[in-house]
Amino acid sequence: MKFTAEQIAKILEGEVVGNPNAEVWTLSKIEEGANGSISFLANPKYESYIYTTKASITLVNNSFTPEGEINTTLIKVDDAYLSFTKLLTFYDQAKKDSKVGIEQPSLISDTVQYGENLYLGSFSYIGSNVRIGNNVKIYPNCFIGDNVVIGNNVTVYAGAKIYSDTLIGSHCVIHSGAIIGADGFGFAPNPDGSYTTIPQIGNVIIEDYVDIGASTTIDRATMGSTIIRKGVKLDNQIQIAHNVEIGEHTVIAAQTGVAGSTKIGKYCVIGGQVGFAGHIVVGNNVRIQAQSGVGRNVKDNEILQGSPSFTYSDYSKSYVHFRNLPKIVLELEELKKTINKNN
């Protein structure tokens, strides 16, 4: 797909400085620009590259004034970084929109209902009574179980598995290898030390605008629902256990694990490799540093670090002493010897 500077300026509500007919068909960093590419300049640290870049078009802030000769066509916008992000979104969507149709071999139940512009990649399976909205893209080797509901403008990348009865809203992205709706870790101990599996008869509900990273797993509820609220962003390789609820617009980095029945609030930011105990409640606007272990209820607006975690400010002060602990112990021993000698 080719776009002219004039077309791009119209999309971004910007002003063309240079050749309005300059054409681009790919994206690039400003220092790696080539003919036919579009780039952007937002950080003044990279300004020197605008005088040497070979990119055909470059997005710049309205405030930018060149101090030398440039060969690239400029598009002036309010915020070059945000505009380039908008352009990336537009470009990505245009690529997805080109994917339409049902590839073979694939298997779709006769009871499936699907909307306009469905793309179903080869070697995929869609079970009974599934309902799929408009503009859904399901890439090869996916499994969609019985009674699943998928909203509009959802992308399911290759190899994802969505178990039966899962409900997925609109504008969601599910990356490769994600598994949604597998059984939770539920086993009842027997007197002889063995375990009996507890049937997991609930489901998973994923609301609108949720992103689920590659190889992330979200278990179905024992009863009721495991719920991922609107706007949640989950990184790769995250484990969400049965009956967990994650509040709106919370973001969680890779390799975090949330044990069963824990509730996490809205607008939280959770670092990588954080561990949550089960049956706890985490408030809204909470910040948790990477590799923390959370074993208690957390109030709104707390900032935590450490394992077991405690407030970030206390952790930072304590860490000074943690590092000096061998020295402190040695000084204590010397002090004890001195006291004993004096006695």
- Active site residues per annotation: 242
Q: List the beta strands (DSSP E) in 233-343.
A: 233-234, 239-240, 245-246, 251-252, 257-258, 263-264, 269-270, 275-276, 281-282, 287-288, 293-294, 303-305, 310-311
Query: 179 - beta bridge partners?
Result: 161, 217
Report d(CA 160, CA 342) in Å as an integer: 73
Q: Are 281 and 297 in contact (CB under 8 A)?
A: yes
Apex 150 CA angle, 149 and 156, nearest 5: 135
* DSSP summary character for residue 1: -
Q: Report DSSP state, residue 170.
A: S
Burial letters 281-319, b for 16+ CB under 10 A, else e: ebbbebebbebbebeeebeeebbbbbeebeebeebeeee
User: How wide is the angle at C-alpha 16 spanned by C-alphas 14 and 22, nearest 5°?
Assistant: 125
Contacting residues for 193 by C-beta, under 8 A, at least 6 apart: none
Whether the CB-CB separation of 136 and 154 falls below 8 Å is answered with yes
Cis preceding-peptide flag for 66 (omega within 30 of 0) = no
Cβ atoms of 208 and 170 closer than 8 Å: yes
Three-state secondary-structure class, residue 154: coil
CA atoms within 13 A on the CB side of 323: 6
